């Protein structure tokens, strides 16, 4: 249908069977669809952190910003505030946004900044070869926990709901149909949206069989009901062997202004003639 080709020439270095491929294929199709429906390609900006997940921006022919570990959200926030007409999509890992960058994620949800965060949650540090993360289960044996992780994981879905995120969903990296549906809804949502993807790391934590036996897509679930969303979120605590619900947990009807709108309306960000400012500063420097 589409003549748009979002592939790049970058060599893909993910392991064969990595769940990142499903996220890549799904998001490429969704962006292509949105371009075909009228959003100009240059209106998308992708931001990534550091980790295996982050390489995704190398594989999509769309403007992107490869940021620092844990700093996807502040970069995405700045881009959105500077140009509110952009659709800003952040790609982050569980180490990246549930560990080092967690405070940024919480504040993005609290502020309701109109960006989309896609979390590649393989429940391990993939790039640095297998350390535990905030969502690794108790007993997880990895490079930094050879005798088993003694901590309990936290539940990022519950955490995001409690932090005022206005769109919260969970996907799984086996198959792309559900991911496509959720990604599109998340990007079209006005306000902060997060899609927490159970992305399998075949090399350091292969959970395909485990998830395949437990995941199910929520039906007859009222996405606009916060209490119901919280109840569904608590069905699985990322530690016990229960069933795992997938789909959109919560979607708040958008009647409130988003952070980027408020900041721009309040003219908190004054226009600065940067070139003039730099020239003035340079004049002051005496060598």
Ligand X SMILES: Cc1ncc(C[n+]2csc(CCOP(=O)(O)OP(=O)(O)O)c2C)c(N)n1
Give the footprint of ligand X on this chain (CB under 6 A).
50-53, 68-69, 93-96, 100, 120, 122, 124-128, 133
Structure tokens at 131: 């350390």
Report DSSP state, residue 172. E
* Dist. CA 97–CA 49, nearest whole Å: 8
15 binds, among ligand SF4, ligand X, Mg ion, none (CB under 5 to 8 A by kind): ligand SF4
- Nearest distance from C-beta of residue 183 to Mg ion, angstroms: 19
Asked if 249 contacts 168 with a C-beta cutoff of 8 angstroms, the reply is yes
Distance of CA 173 to the CA centre of its chain: 14
- Nearest distance from C-beta of residue 29 to ligand SF4, angstroms: 20
* Dist. CA 66–CA 70, nearest whole Å: 11
Structure tokens at 227: 């209490």
Decide whether 53 or 251 has the Cβ nearer to ligand X: 53
The correct pick among 122, 135, 173, 193 for binding Mg ion (CB under 5 A) is 122
Binding mask 185-224 toward ligand SF4 (x if CB under 6 A, else -) reads ----------------xxxx--------------------
- Nearest distance from C-beta of residue 79 to ligand SF4, angstroms: 26
Decide whether 201 or 233 has the Cβ nearer to ligand SF4: 201
- Nearest distance from C-beta of residue 131 to ligand X, angstroms: 7
Is residue 15 near ligand SF4 by the rule CB under 6 A?
yes
Asked if 263 contacts 112 with a C-beta cutoff of 8 angstroms, the reply is no
Is residue 93 near Mg ion by the rule CB under 5 A?
yes
Decide whether 21 or 250 has the Cβ nearer to ligand X: 21
Is residue 247 near Mg ion by the rule CB under 5 A?
no
Give the binding range for ligand SF4 (CB under 6 A) out of 12-20, 141-149, 231-239, 244-252: 12-20
**Which residues lie below 8 Å from residue 137, measured CB to CB, with a gap of 6+?**
123, 149, 153, 238, 239
Give the binding range for ligand SF4 (CB under 6 A) out of 15-23, 181-189, 208-216, 266-274: 15-23
Distance of CA 194 to the CA centre of its chain: 6
Q: How many residues does the chain have?
A: 287
Is residue 18 near ligand SF4 by the rule CB under 6 A?
yes
Asked if 175 contacts 246 with a C-beta cutoff of 8 angstroms, the reply is no
b/e string for 3-21 if b means 16 or more Cβ within 10 A?
eeebeeeeeeebeeebbbb
Which residues lie near ligand SF4 (CB under 6 A)?
14-15, 18, 20, 52, 122, 126, 201-204
């Amino acid at each position: 249908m589409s003549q748009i080709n979002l592939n790049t020439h970058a060599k893909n270095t993910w392991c064969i069977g990595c769940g990142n491929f499903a996220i890549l294929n799904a998001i490429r199709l969704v962006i292509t669809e949105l371009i075909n429906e009228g959003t100009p390609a240059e209106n998308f900006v992708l931001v990534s952190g550091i980790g295996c997940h982050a390489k995704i921006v190398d594989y999509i022919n769309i403007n992107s910003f490869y940021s620092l570990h844990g700093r996807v959200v502040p970069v995405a926030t700045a881009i959105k505030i500077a140009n509110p007409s952009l659709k800003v999509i952040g790609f982050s890992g569980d180490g990246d946004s549930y560990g080092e960058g967690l405070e940024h994620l919480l504040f993005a949800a609290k502020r309701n900044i109109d960006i989309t965060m896609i979390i590649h949650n393989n429940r391990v540090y993939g790039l640095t070869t297998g350390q535990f993360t905030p969502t690794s289960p108790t007993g997880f044996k990895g490079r930094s926990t050879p005798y088993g992780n003694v901590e309990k994981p936290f539940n990022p879905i519950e955490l995001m709901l409690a932090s005022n995120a206005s769109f919260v969903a969970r996907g799984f990296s086996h198959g792309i149909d559900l991911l496509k549906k959720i990604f599109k809804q998340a990007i079209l949502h006005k306000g902060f949206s997060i899609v927490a993807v159970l992305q399998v790391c075949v090399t350091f934590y292969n959970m395909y069989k485990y998830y395949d036996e437990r995941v199910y897509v929520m039906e007859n679930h009222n996405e606009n009901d916060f209490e119901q969303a919280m109840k569904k979120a608590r069905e699985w605590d990322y530690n016990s062997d229960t069933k795992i619900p997938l789909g959109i947990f919560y979607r708040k009807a958008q009647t409130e202004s988003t952070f980027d709108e408020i900041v721009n309306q309040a003219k908190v960000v004054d226009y600065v003639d940067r070139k003039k400012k730099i020239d003035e500063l340079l004049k002051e420097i005496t060598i």
